[in-house]
Amino acid sequence: MATGRSSGRRGATNSMDTQSQLADVARGSAPVLEQLAAMTLDTLGNSGMDERTYHVTRLAALVASDAAPVSYLVNMGAAADAGITLEDAQGVLVAIAPIVGSARIASAAGKLLRAYGLASAIEEAPEDEG
């Protein structure tokens, strides 16, 4: 009778596959990420906003939509390139807290920190040579 459990060996393989796939997304080498980039290619120019305001607005939208950590990783990478710091991101959280509520802010803070931690780990990881 099947128990619904996978063997430890298969579970470890699936875990490694998932980690590898997430690392590909974070590095920008995944087709989904390429599609997302294409969708937002002209939004900065079309928004009429300066780059800093644009990225701060996108962060607020991520918080309001309870976005996944990978969304923070992708968006905050571009924001960091534009000079947005972790302290700036914290300021956004403080500013929007009365509107989105403490639960969303706590969730977003954790996701931001995970995204920054994952980005740091990826930057420090050796590149595959094969």
Q: Which domains does the chain have, with CATH numbers?
A: 30-124 (1.20.1290)
Q: What is the number of helices (H) and of strands (E) in the chain?
A: 7, 0
Judge contact between 100 and 64, C-beta under 8 A: yes
Element housing 80 (H / E): helix 69-81
Q: How confident is the model over 71-113, as pLDDT tens digits?
A: 888 888 888 889 998 899 999 999 999 999 999 999 999 998 8
Question: What proportions of the chain, in percent to the nearest 5, are helix, strand and coil?
Answer: 75, 0, 25
Look up residue 91 and give its two tokens: 């300021």
Q: How confident is the model over 14-64, as pLDDT tens digits?
A: 555 666 666 666 666 667 666 666 777 788 888 999 999 999 999 999 999
